[in-house]
Structure 1
Amino acid sequence: MKIAVDAMGGDFAPKAIVEGVMLAKQKHPEIEFQLYGKEDAIREFITDEKNITIIHTDEKINSDDEPVKAIRRKKTASMVLAAQAVKEGKADAIFSAGNTGALLAAGLFIVGRIKKVERPGLMSTLPVLGEGPGFDMLDLGANAENKPEHLHQYAILGSFYAKHVRKITNPRVGLLNNGTEETKGSELTKEAYKLLNAEESINFVGNVEARDLLDGVADVVVTDGFTGNAVLKTIEGTALGLMTLLKGSITDAGTKGKLGALMLKDTLYSLKDKLDYSSHGGAVLFGLKAPVIKTHGSTGPEAVATTIDQIATMLDTNVVGQLVQFFETEDHQ
């Protein structure tokens, strides 16, 4: 197993990225890590050089760079070199906490799409409020506009991931809509509904509403990229807002409130962890010839290690290889 890591991507790179790799090495001694970036800066945080290779470059893609131009012009950027390693078979997957648009462009233009997959989708595993493994949702913003055929493919992609990586037997696939009735929605969702309902390879449970997502109404939720990105940011913003309100209420309550918070400290931390979708791993640009994984720019070492767990599972289960076989042997154009 070889993972190409963009060590210079993210708000706290390379420190958070390299420290996360060091954590992951303890659990995954079988993985070889290729760290792309400024060697001196990377080496400062390496505590064990076994299975670590540093590929030096001074060039990196910044958060405010225009994605496609950056990929084409910055040929020796850490992200570009990591993606090139995957394309050339020198690495099995690429991981970055850097510029999301640039990583999407690198995935599409360098790593490449699986044959017959028209629009790879950005997918994350999001938490549910009660007991349960969470749900996979795509597209979360790789595409601003989609056709019904794209949503049809997202359902297949998401179902494959839930089944093979998250080990959910017969995952329930829902189509995000403004009502549960078959006749509800836009022309896009109405046509997508017909395609999903006729697809025998998935367990389609019909339309689902946004208000029910965190109740675990489906294991895979399919939508267009614009809507998915808006829903993701709404969930993230609501979670952050709730924690801020809770913290403010405790502070305003004076000594009694602080004593109560101290007694509930473990419960409050558990709630925070449950609302943090980064604890489930990174976002996958799914539908490409190899795993391309993006984690939040402000991610810390623990989240990096969790994302590496996720990549290891994807490689162990050969989920991408199974997808390639599925789309090459079935008519899913």
Structure 2
Amino acid sequence: MPANLTPQYKEAEERFRNASTDEERLACLEEMMRVIPKHKGTEKMRADIKTRISKIKQKLESGKKSRGGGARRTSYLDHVEKHGAAQIIILGPPNSGKSSLVKLVTNTEPEIADYPFTTRTPMPAMMPFKTIQFQLVDMPPISRETYDGWMTNLIRNGDMIVIVVDVSADDLLESLDETLEVIRDAGIVLTGETIPEEYQNSVFCKKTLILANKIGEENAPDIFQILQEFYGDKFPILGISVLRNRNIEQFKRRIFEMLKIIRVYTKSPGKEVDYKDPIILPIGATVEDAAVSIHKDFAEKLQYAKVWGEGKFDGQRVTNSFQLTDGDIIEFHI
């Protein structure tokens, strides 16, 4: 029986052949396993991929145990444990103002200076937005000379990309082009509001928002218009000013909108609503999805739920398939 391999599989296989590290090979193999057609003609291929994945994982694990400080440093750099509603990777050319942005929206103190390449390691920090938080990871500046392999793994693991550029800089287009080329050469596809069908659930494709910083500077309007002309049809672009605190709340809202998530709050019968730790779900999620996010066994025992929210009766009784919307309150009954 023919395998009938898809273009997505062949693309992942090509990336695997060109991968230079075990971490990159592992990511490519996992992608190949995800997109390979599931039928009798691919049984042996799937078994072979599983074996390769297992061997690479064992090799990486043994390497962590046997190697010294350099290996531990690399392991630290290429992984930041996720916290909050989503992990947002902050990228940009040197001196674009991304560390100043992170300081402003998270109240942390990253190292900031007027010279380039101040940020040398990934710096995670939490940004509050209404009743949730997003984890921002401030990355070292992106350039051909300084890009390192560990950055690729960290970018792949993020939920979304934000690229900060200096809209007052005369070389904005050149520096942004270089940033995008370096990321593309690392095998990562950046897209706008919508992930293409062939990349759904793929670690190789990331939604990307461009932040045009220093929008209030003298020559910024003209350069911003040029930026829109060159990249406005590829990525959403938002003008901000970290110095003047301009459009910062819009930046937070834009991330929430692009992630296409909703917040659902829970309450126990006879108790008050818990607004501190909402369940984060994709748009279109149901009561059953909310229950599964708590625990699979809990979802299996669920009989019905009551919901409160916009366009609903207070305490409206609903089935497991009822679709939730942002801000809903749910009370589970088992």
Using the size of structure 1 for normalisation, the TM-score is 0.31
RCO comparison, higher one (Cα < 8 Å, 6+):
1
Q: TM-score, normalised by structure 2?
A: 0.31
Q: Which has the higher helix share?
A: 1
Structure with the bigger percentage of strand:
2
